[in-house]
Amino acid sequence: MREILRHTPGRIFVGVLFLSVVGMLFVTRYFTAKILVFGWMALPLFAGLVMIVVWLIAYLLYFFKYWPYR
């Protein structure tokens, strides 16, 4: 964790992960409502998929472009 927080891209990476977790916590209040996204996907499934995609993109971008120990 020290290595990630020592340079700016690492701080941005951790910030993106933190914001996605906060976003997931914000969306959970709507999980009991019957909300469909695109007409067929339940909101909890959609929120989980969005969080996984955000984490995957953030990780791949950080690992392949900004990894400090190549």
β-bridge partners, 36 = 42
Per-residue pLDDT of 6-51, as tens digits, reads: 889 999 999 999 999 999 999 888 888 888 999 999 999 999 999 9
Taking the domains of the chain in order of start, what are their residue ranges? Answer: 2-65
Angle between helices 43-65 and 8-27 in degrees, nearest 10: 180
Give counts: helices (H), strands (E), the chain. 3, 2
Give the separation between CA 8 and CA 1, rounded to whole angstroms: 13
Inform me whether the pLDDT recorded for 70 exceeds 90: no
**Residue 61's pLDDT band (boundaries 50, 70, 90)?**
very high
